Amino acid sequence: MSLVALAIGLVLVVEGLALALAPRRMEDALRALAALSQDQRRAIGLAALAIGVLLVWLSRTA
C-alpha cells in the first residue's frame, strides 16, 4: 500500500508543479489533446500506461 501512496504522491507533485509553474502551457496541452480524435487519445493513453508499467516493473526488479 505504501508503494501505491508513493506513486500517487509523485503524480500529484508532478501535476501540481506543472499547474503552478506553467498554467497556460497546461491549458494549451489540454486544448491540443481535445483536438485529437478519440482513437488517438486512446493510443496515447495506452502508450503512457505501458511505459508506466514498464518503469514500475524495472524499478521493482532492480
Cell of 2: 505504501
Tell me the whole-structure pTM to 2 decimals.
0.74
Give how far the C-alpha of residue 15 lies from the chain's centroid of Cα atoms, to the nearest Å.
Answer: 8
Residue 9 near residue 1 (C-beta atoms within 8 A): no
Give per-residue pLDDT as tens, 30-47: 999 999 999 999 999 999
**So where are the chain's domains?**
2-61
26 contacts 19 by C-beta, under 8 angstroms: yes
C-alpha 55/C-alpha 52 separation (Å) is: 5
**Over residues 1-29, mean pLDDT:** 91
